[in-house]
Amino acid sequence: MPSLCLRVCLLLTILISLPCITDAKTLVVSHPNLPTHPMGRGFKVFKEELEKRSGGNFTVLIYDNSSYGTFEEVMLGLDIGVVQIGTHSTSNFSVYNPDFMLFDFPFFISSYDEGEAITDSEIGKALATGVQRRVYGLGYLEIGFRNIFSTRPIRTLEDAKDLKIRTTASAVQNTALKSLGMAPVEIAWENVYESMKNGQSDAIDIDIDLNSAYYSKIPRLAKYVTLTRGAYIPHIVFVSQLFWDKLTPQEKEWIEDSFKIMQDYQRTTNRKDELVIIEEIKEAGGEVIELTPEEKQRWMDVSKQEIKEQFDDKISENILKSAVEVLDLE
């Protein structure tokens, strides 16, 4: 958690950089992905839908590719109402609500249907309300499953030993990667490409989202892709509570309906793009590696045991129990 001094400095940075907005119904939307990414395209759909539904009562300004600021700057913007909508990986929100670590549990969620069953249920709502910030949870978008992009082929646990690999601030993700013999390096998403280019990391475990890697040109630097599908990582979309509380019921309905259309579009596009991207990586000379069933079981056994020992008691018992019931894992 940032110190008071750091929070004040970030707040001043936000206020200085704040665009001149006089219309109270202008929405500043911040997200970390490129405009070509399914998330970026999805927010364009949201903008079109909301502006159309509201008859021009809302204007949406999109700041993509982390152009508004860092994760913490966006959260502060939401707190004070100068950012109206912001989104980021659930891994980053685990510092505010440890229950979000549920999504980082390795090989816990195995399909998109299972992911939606968690995010779109009462579990997803409970996780959103547990964030100790002045925000309202609008819903979840889809990033995908974590895989490994690397500069050397990873086919076995032995191949992964000592691999310098980018990670988020998630304690679960760091522990899981270490249990598999890798050397995780915490790097902000906006700095990933440069870190690989200058050798700070030689692999990246991203929210994979094959899309984020592809549209950020990661395959130019890492020609090997190992489809571990280690964890399902969604993005949660928050609305500033200060902004939300000032809206009429009709205005809230416009926003929620527009988000639902955008959510369906984004999820569908994300999944379709992954299939195309895998083929394009192969055509460009990259190698896409599937772990054998036996090898994947080794990864699952090693990482799951380590995580269970260290983190089972860090997640609320009712959240973990509900998730196990939804996924029928008992």
Helix (H), strand (E), coil (C) string for the chain: CCCHHHHHHHHHHHHHHCCCCCCCCEEEEECCCCCCCHHHHHHHHHHHHHHHHCCCCCEEEEECCCCCCCHHHHHHHHHHCCCCEEEEEHHHHCCCCHHHHHHHCCCCCCCHHHHHHHHCCHHHHHHHHCCCCCEEEEEEEEEEECEEEECCCCCCHHHHCCCEEEECCCHHHHHHHHHCCCEEEECCHHHHHHHHHCCCCCEEEECCCHHHHHHCCHHHCCCEEECCCCCEEEEEEEEEHHHHCCCCHHHHHHHHHHHHHHHHHHHHHHHHHHHHHHHHHHHCCCEEECCCHHHHHHHHHHHHHHHHHHHHHHCCHHHHHHHHHHCCCC
C-alpha to C-alpha distances, 212 to 139, 183, 199, 208, 242, nearest whole angstrom: 20, 22, 20, 7, 31
In angstroms, the CA 68 to CA 72 distance is 11
Tell me what pLDDT residue 5 has: 54
**Is residue 24 scored above 90 in pLDDT?**
no
What would the CATH number be for the domain defined by 147-231+277-326? 3.40.190.170
pLDDT, average across residues 108-114: 94
Tell me what pLDDT residue 217 has: 86
In angstroms, the CA 218 to CA 194 distance is 10
CATH 3.60.15.10 at 4-98+109-142+234-275, yes or no: no
Q: Give yes or no for a contact between 68 and 30, defined as CB atoms under 8 angstroms apart.
A: yes
Percent of the chain with pLDDT over 90: 66
Tell me what pLDDT residue 22 has: 39
pLDDT, average across residues 154-182: 91
Q: Give yes or no for a contact between 18 and 82, defined as CB atoms under 8 angstroms apart.
A: yes
**Is residue 197 scored above 90 in pLDDT?**
no
Q: Give yes or no for a contact between 216 and 34, defined as CB atoms under 8 angstroms apart.
A: yes
Tell me what pLDDT residue 209 has: 66
Model confidence over 157-168: pLDDT tens digits?
999 999 989 888
Tell me what pLDDT residue 13 has: 52
CA atoms within 13 A on the CB side of 175: 17
Q: Most confidently modeled of 39-43, 101-105, 203-207?
A: 39-43
Q: Give yes or no for a contact between 58 and 27, defined as CB atoms under 8 angstroms apart.
A: yes
pTM reported for the whole predicted model: 0.86
Find tokens 């394009």 and name the residue. 280
**Is residue 223 scored above 60 in pLDDT?**
yes
Model confidence over 73-100: pLDDT tens digits?
999 999 999 999 999 999 888 888 999 9
User: What are the start and end residues of each CATH 3.40.190.170 domain in the chain?
Assistant: 4-98+109-142+234-275, 147-231+277-326
**Is residue 182 scored above 70 in pLDDT?**
yes
Tell me what pLDDT residue 6 has: 47
In angstroms, the CA 134 to CA 308 distance is 32
In angstroms, the CA 246 to CA 27 distance is 13
Tell me what pLDDT residue 202 has: 77
In angstroms, the CA 76 to CA 274 distance is 33
In angstroms, the CA 68 to CA 104 distance is 26
Mean pLDDT over each residue of the chain, to the nearest integer: 88
**Is residue 37 scored above 70 in pLDDT?**
yes
Q: Which residue has the higher pLDDT, 42 or 327?
A: 42
Model confidence over 127-147: pLDDT tens digits?
999 888 899 999 999 989 999
**What's CA 242's distance to the chain center, in Å?**
24
**Is residue 261 scored above 60 in pLDDT?**
yes
In angstroms, the CA 53 to CA 47 distance is 10
Tell me what pLDDT residue 205 has: 61
